[in-house]
Amino acid sequence: MRKRLLTWFSENARDLPWRRDHSPYRVWISEIMCQQTQVATVLPYFERFLSTYPTIRDLANADENQLMRMWEGLGYYRRARSLHASAKKMAAEHEGEFPDSFEDVLALPGIGRYTAGAILSISRNEAFPILEGNTQRVFSRWIGLTTPPTEKIAQTRLWELSDKMLPRKKAGDRTNGPAGFNQAAMELGALICSPKAPKCDVCPVATMCHANQLGLQAEIPGKISKVQYESRTEIAVVISQAEKYLVRTIPEGVRFAGMIDFPRAGPPEAEDVIGMESWLAEHLGGDVTIGMRLKTIKHAVTRYRMTLHIHLADLAGPNAGDNSDEEHGPLPEPWRWASIDELADMPMSVTGRKIVRLLDRPQRSLFSEI
């Protein structure tokens, strides 16, 4: 089975940048970026990221705002903060080099058993098993495991299988060693052994696969509880003053913490427009009047199906002026005024960036959409 799989991989592997240069740093960045994100989406981000931060020390010394701006659009922003924290840890404790031992890699922020094993296996051809979405499905089908892979007994079984399948006699040979096998198993899951309608007719190991032999491809892996999405409606407001817009740095403990956003809230803080006015007045120390709706955006965030209503609004009171102008009272932290040009360099969520693009259009174009 290994021989067939590795032969197939040598002929069908995708040409990915972290496979051309498999240094631990590049493999680490690719593994973090590819968590819950498709490879096609990651590719342009990966190239820009490595061009801006070519070494661990460059990443450790990165400006956090610039780093988050580089990550913008990839989602799950905690990953970027974990990368930054890990780079700082490596600069301080490992002389700016990627650690050698599994324990030291596992101690880095945002890295678990799978990621640590994947980095050391792919970059250094070390014999560490890996188990992620693709390989759990592939291995489950190979052995005809009908128990859902999320269950503890199945996880134990699959980790054991992953370990036993690793080649060890040719550990010095990347192509036929652990690096080749682990990548081949993941590639098989990505290209052939898909969740629905797997391409068993072109699978190199179909004749050895229990699910294929028993016709159980549709039942394996066992049913995994799907995320129950919740509907949520939020309101964002656009308040302008002297060609600048009111924004804030999102505080810790709130979605998109550390990023810049327009005033935005939802239940329980703001059930409706009136609640949003009260919430803003409390935060800003001035009266807020919400006006016409500019646009509605529907999108998804983690377990939510979001509806975002974007409104124009006016702010009146002691803090209505520019917080950088001594003639006006300062805005309370973390609020500020920012121009379109300034916002272009600030890290924002996808919907925050959409609001910026909406405001950056010619006025006639903007109001034609209302």
**Catalytic residue numbers?**
31
Strand partners, 236: 264, 310
How far is the CA of 143 from the CAs of 6, 140, 214, 220, 364, in angstroms? 19, 6, 11, 10, 62
Degrees, nearest 5: CA angle 94-96-99: 45
| Cis check: omega of the bond before 267, within 30 degrees of 0 | no
Residue length of the chain: 370
Residue pair 130/34 in contact (Cβ under 8 Å)? The answer is no
SS3 at position 10: helix
Q: Which helix (H) or strand (E) holds 141?
A: helix 133-143
| Cβ-proximal residues to 110 (8 Å cutoff; 6+ apart), any chain | 32, 78, 79, 82, 83, 85, 86
End-to-end CA distance of the chain: 60
Task: Give the integer Cα–Cα distance in Å for 163 and 131.
Answer: 10
Q: Which residue has the tokens 């799950």?
A: 76
**DSSP letter string, 172-212:** T-TTTSHHHHHHHHHHHHHHTS-SSS--GGG-TTGGG-HHH
